Amino acid sequence: MTADTAELDRLRARDAVHVWRGRTPDVLLAEDIALLSTAELDVVRRRSQQAAVRYAGAHAALRRILCRYLDAPPESIRLGRQPCPRCEHPDHGRPRIDWPPSGLDFNLSRTGAHWLLAVAADQQVGADIEDGRSVDIHGASTIVLTGDELAHMRAQPTEELRLDAFFRCWTRKEAVVKASGVGIVADLSALDVRPADDGPVRVTHVEPNGPDTWTVQSLPAGPGLFAALAREAGSTGPVLLRDYRREFPNQPYGDGADDEPHDPAPHDPASHDTEMVGAHAI
């Protein structure tokens, strides 16, 4: 077989983005450690116990998911980074798959025990998920929001709605700058992501060697969580949510796994594809 598996063929043919969501186990698992690269294991060893467990769990899940598209064992997939589009440093650009060759693009985001993974073919994508805890939104908002975004947030009648407005802005901005490859070194206060609009919005964010315009949209993520996806503006295929726990039922999960949002019926990529049309297929 080649890297063009049925999953990758379907992704490319539909110009789709698959957005996987999941939760890491509560303990460090031998079956997760066995999938990680030497570089990933170095990260695990340098982190505190809880951070190591969450890093290993999310990156093992990443490898299990990627192998569905790449026709390669998860432990054999070689991951690297593209040079930063601003400074060309090789250590903090966009993540990439060095082997096997496929044209597959991905972006992983984590908050606490929760993670979100966007996967696409032949286009740049960015994802962000936040849990909304321990953030001074009123102090941070004056630094990262545009004037219009700040006015929108302050106009909300309750603190809960102001929190929602702030994190709608924050996750959309993070998704865009992660898709472009520069991360939060970008001036977020110069990027307007139109939080008053519920559907996908087109925004401008220019970096060297990449698209100038992006489509960004908020995603359902579950109670207390906020998430967003950014993709190249020319892409109009469906965005499909996929649940890691449902599609990998034999994997262990933490005690809080029932916090995961679930679709009302078992996932079937083919049937979902026929029902979801356009960029806002969620």
List, run by run, the mean pLDDT of 10-residue segments along the chain (282 residues): 72 97 96 97 97 98 97 96 79 89 96 97 96 87 96 97 96 95 79 95 89 96 95 94 94 53 34 28 44
Q: How far apart are CA 114 and CA 24, in angstroms?
A: 6
Q: How far apart are CA 175 and CA 232, in angstroms?
A: 11
Residue type for 113, please?
A
Distances (CA, A) of 265 to 239, 262, 268: 17, 8, 9
Task: Determine if the pTM surpasses 0.75.
Answer: yes
Residue 105's DSSP bridge partners are 120
pLDDT score, position 253 = 62
Token couple for 24: 């890491």
Contacts of 270 (CB under 8 A, 6+ apart): 10
Distances (CA, A) of 100 to 41, 77, 120, 251: 21, 7, 15, 24
pLDDT score, position 280 = 30
Q: How far apart are CA 226 and CA 173, in angstroms?
A: 12
